[in-house]
Amino acid sequence: MVSEIGILRPDGLYIQASVIDTETENILSLHPSGTIIVPLRPDEHHNWDGESWVYVEPDPVPPVVPASVTRAQALVAMYEAGLLPAVEAAVEAHPYEVLRIWWRNALSFERGNAYLAGVAEELNLSDEDVDALFIAASTRL
């Protein structure tokens, strides 16, 4: 009869294999000393603790910073962060007219935009702060 077995090597490598019942013990001779047969692993989020498989919370996936967000998304994120009045004041006070034209007419905001970087710097916003705003904006509307 063929059955599925779990094989755990001393280096931590887990292998699931189909074997004929009479070959179960022979399979260990194909692996390094200390290799053991274990119950089947439920999924990749379980680690062997010496007696059983224990669930291990997976590492959270870091959010992806979007390359761009719509104007509406950006404005809502800045408003919710309490930054919109300061951003608008900094833009209106800026001596470079092209920046003001861009701000008033941009349909989207790109993360790598030099005008955006300049305004962020004037407001002492770090790259991490701006990334957080883009992530928050991407979840709006």
Domain positions in the chain are 2-55, 68-138
Question: In this predicted structure, what is the pLDDT of residue 70?
Answer: 97
On whether the pTM is more than 0.75, the answer is no
Q: How far apart, in whole angstroms, are the C-alpha atoms of residue 87 and residue 125? A: 11
DSSP assignment of the chain equals -EEEEEEE-TTS-EEEEEEEGGGHHHHHTTS-TT-EEEPPP--TTEEE-SSSEEE-PPPPPPPPPPSEEEHHHHHHHHHHTT-HHHHHHHHHH-S-HHHHHHHHH-SEEETT-HHHHHHHHHTT--HHHHHHHHHHHHT--
pLDDT per residue rounded down to tens, the chain (141 residues)? 788 899 999 999 999 988 876 677 778 888 899 999 999 999 999 999 999 999 999 999 999 999 999 999 999 999 999 999 999 999 999 999 999 999 999 999 999 999 999 999 999 999 999 999 999 999 987
